[in-house]
């Protein structure tokens, strides 16, 4: 939304057609331009088609934001291998596939911004969330590696590491964690928030604001970084 407000032509991709179309409609109502493309980002051919369609429509790809995510809360002893594999398909392999799909075009342009949404859990770990934390840690290694590959051709690659953001995904994870400890989701959330120096959840717009800066010309000297948006919960 914020990129569209700043004048970007936005291509939205996710599995949920209804959510995509609602977001695209909201952008258009505010005078922006948005194209909704229902896409399963774990499907390599669908991802290739998404990149090709974007180039056909707009002639270039200036920014890729890898923001798709899945979560799986479980004690590792009880964790289901299939659930872990599915999480990695979304959190890791989709990032590889999407980045590979757009990178050739960015190299041709000799410009581009790739922004990967990781998590502070990648840096400090997360009990009962080992699949999620490790998948987000993989994204940090990927970010630094691709940043080194592309630094000479005008492309930057960075990661944003939020703390708990006020989203459906986080509230679902909180509910699942609360059940493990015999608490209500409200009780567990209050406990989590109390450990944050700012004692609050992060908003999606705060994460979006950092992403918007990383897209800008002023951020061309920033690459290979993992930048926290966490209210001081993690201080590198």
Residues classed as catalytic = 132
The closest of 127, 135, 137, 155 to 220, measured between CA atoms, is 155
* Exposure letters 193-217 (e unless 16+ CB within 10 A, then b): eeebeeeebbeeebbbebbbebbee
At residue 30, the 3 state secondary structure works out as coil
Q: Whole-angstrom Cα distance, residue 235 to residue 228?
A: 8
Task: Using the Cα atoms of residue 29, residue 31, residue 37 and residue 41 in order, give the sign of their dihedral.
Answer: negative
- Work out the burial of residue 153: count CB atoms within 10 Å of its CB; fewer than 13 is exposed, 13-18 middle, 19 or more buried: middle
Task: Check: CB of residue 64 under 8 Å from CB of residue 3.
Answer: no
Beta strand segments in the chain, E: 9-14, 33-38, 63-66, 112-117, 155-162, 226-229
Q: Whole-angstrom Cα distance, residue 160 to residue 150?
A: 18
Phi and psi at 177, nearest 5°, equal -65, -40
């Amino acid at each position: 939304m914020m990129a569209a407000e700043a004048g970007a032509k936005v291509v939205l991709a996710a599995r949920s057609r209804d959510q995509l179309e609602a977001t695209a409609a909201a952008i258009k109502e505010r005078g922006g331009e948005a194209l909704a493309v229902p896409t399963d980002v774990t499907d390599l051919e669908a991802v290739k088609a998404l990149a090709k369609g974007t180039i056909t429509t707009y002639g270039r790809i200036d920014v890729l934001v890898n923001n798709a995510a899945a979560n799986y809360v479980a004690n590792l002893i009880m964790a289901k291998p299939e659930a872990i594999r599915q999480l990695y398909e979304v959190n890791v392999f989709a990032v590889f596939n999407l980045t590979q799909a757009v990178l050739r075009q960015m190299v041709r342009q000799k410009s581009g911004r790739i922004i990967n949404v990781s998590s502070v859990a990648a840096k400090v770990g997360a009990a009962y969330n080992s699949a999620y934390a490790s998948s987000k840690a993989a994204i940090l290694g990927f970010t630094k590696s691709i940043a080194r590959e592309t630094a000479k051709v005008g492309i930057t690659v960075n990661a944003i590491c939020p703390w708990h953001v006020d989203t459906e995904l986080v509230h679902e994870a909180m509910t699942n964690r609360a059940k493990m400890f015999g608490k209500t989701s409200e009780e567990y959330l209050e406990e989590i928030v109390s450990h944050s120096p700012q004692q609050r959840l992060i908003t999606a717009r705060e994460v979006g604001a950092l992403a918007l800066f990383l897209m800008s010309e002023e951020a061309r000297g920033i690459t290979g970084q993992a930048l926290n948006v966490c209210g001081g919960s993690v201080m590198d």
